[in-house]
Amino acid sequence: MATALLLSLLAVALIAPVDYTPLTQQSFYQQTISQVDSIQPVVHNARAKLKTSWIAINITPKAKMPMAGYAPRDHFATVHDSIYVRILAIDNGSIQCFFISADLLLFPPALKNKISNLNPNKNQFLYFTATHAHSSLGAWNDSRIGNFILGKYNEPWLDSLAQKINSSIQQLTTELKPSSLTYFESDASEFVENRLDPTQGKVDGEIRGFKIIRNDGSKGLWMSYSAHPTNISHLSLELSGDYPNALIKKAESKNYDFAMFASSTVGSHRVKTLKETQFELCDSLASRLFKKIEASNNFKLTDSLPIATAIFPVHYGPSQLHVLQNFKARDWVFQWLFTPLHGDITYVKIGNVLMLGMPCDFSGEIFTRDELGKIADARKEKLIITSFNGDYVGYITYDDHYGHSEQEEVMAMNWVGPYYGQYFSEVVRGILSKEK
């Protein structure tokens, strides 16, 4: 009897029912919507023609380090392909924007904070993202779960990496060259499917980005796509950037002097099965995606463009990490295991191309079902959504799956609870309503 009572009390202390209070009645929702309505992006009008510069920083360690992406792997045994942080700088004479993508599972919040602290320049705007490689390096999260799943936190390594990235940012300011930018998009839906509903689920299958030509003839390529880079076995101890690295290599072996990749709306998307597996699949998919880029629809931007920037705050209720379908770990348990929920939306608009960086695995099913891209198109804008902006609050998936799906995206990786697909969609639509 005493044992049963003790277990009951323990369960009550650790577990609670999922909170289904309607979104509009939640104070965090009301606060966010109010702030989105009141914030206006800062418009930096062009004072000169666009200039760009770029760099790739090899961050492959000489010593063995933990791997991130699946179950704990305390070291990599060999290097299949080197791991990089790549940076693209775009300058219009008023503002310098730096697009920073890491060949990591996500852009580590600790690393973002260190870089931001090293770079207080108000005329430089940093836009973080990641390739979401699941066979890359760990050791970048100091929570209890992070130390267990991703390997022991390595702050000296992060400090060194932050210094390298900041030095590279400053270097790029001295290497800017007049450039032309072309936005491109191409339908590559045949290579991606919805993991939560492979037969009926919607996908965002567009590959999007920028093609860049500098006045010295050098060419750059910035690419974004929605399929998860999970093509290498979870048992593999080979360090790799998965298909994004293969796609970058393909581009740089063809027409481009520099290429980089950003994960797009990957929240419920995976590569559709091809006949190849593992690294052969990465190479095959890279070749197919590059053909799509070569045959893409291109929209050249003018040489002098305004660039608008903003940070849109997003507020959160108590965490709702699933224990069972209708039960969650209490918020104090989540915070003890992880860290408190925090993540804003990063905004950069170059001419009529709007880029939104999300603090999560953002689902392409939301993008497609809620017609976010079509809303932008109706305003004569182009919308690119990327994931992993240097904060992380888990998966944001289409709400119909919540309370029904047993998939890990909903059960293990949704940390926020129901209605957050609608919530983020409303925030994006609120941001788009500002576009003229």
Q: pLDDT tens digits for 263-284?
A: 999 999 999 988 899 999 999 9
Q: pLDDT tens digits for 121-163?
A: 888 999 999 999 999 999 999 999 999 999 999 999 999 999 9
Q: pLDDT tens digits for 370-383?
A: 999 999 999 999 99
pLDDT computed for residue 51 by the predictor: 98
43 backbone dihedrals φ, ψ, rounded to 5° = -95, 120
Q: pLDDT tens digits for 283-341?
A: 999 999 999 999 999 999 998 999 999 999 999 999 999 998 999 999 999 999 999 99
d(CA 144, CA 146): 5
pTM for the model stands at 0.96
Q: pLDDT tens digits for 55-108?
A: 999 999 999 999 999 889 999 999 999 999 999 999 999 999 999 999 999 999
- Per-residue confidence at 113, pLDDT binned at 50, 70, 90? very high
180 backbone dihedrals φ, ψ, rounded to 5° = -115, 140
Average pLDDT over residues 234-240: 95
- The per-residue DSSP string of 186-210 comes to EE-GGGEEESS-TTT-----EEEEE
Amino acid at 62: K
pLDDT computed for residue 120 by the predictor: 84
pLDDT computed for residue 436 by the predictor: 56
- Per-residue confidence at 11, pLDDT binned at 50, 70, 90? low
Distance, first Cα to last Cα, the chain: 68
pLDDT computed for residue 65 by the predictor: 97
Helix locations, 309-363, DSSP H: 331-337
> Tokens 């900041």 appear where?
166
Q: Note whether 111 and 158 are within 8 A (CB).
A: yes
- Strand partners for 179: 214
Average pLDDT over residues 355-382: 97
243 backbone dihedrals φ, ψ, rounded to 5° = -65, -30
Q: Which residues, other chains included, contact 23 with Cβ-Cβ below 8 Å and sequence gap of 6+? A: 29, 419, 422, 423
Of 3, 32, 4, which is closest to residue 345 (Cα–Cα)? 32
pLDDT of 9 > 90? The answer is: no
For residue 28, give the H/E element and its range: helix 27-38
pLDDT of 7 > 50? The answer is: no
- Whole-number CA gyration radius for the chain: 21
Average pLDDT over residues 229-254: 96
Q: What 8-state DSSP symbol labels residue 180? A: E
Which sign, positive or negative, has the C-alpha torsion 119, 125, 130, 131? negative
- Per-residue confidence at 6, pLDDT binned at 50, 70, 90? very low
Of 394, 403, 322, which is closest to residue 362 (Cα–Cα)? 394
Of 285, 265, 263, which is closest to residue 204 (Cα–Cα)? 265
d(CA 368, CA 371): 5
**Mean pLDDT for the chain overall:** 94
Q: Which residues, other chains included, contact 58 with Cβ-Cβ below 8 Å and sequence gap of 6+? A: 82, 83, 84
What's the full length of the chain, in residues? 436
156 backbone dihedrals φ, ψ, rounded to 5° = -60, -40
Q: Count the neighbouring beta carbons within 10 Å of the beta carbon of residue 93.
A: 15
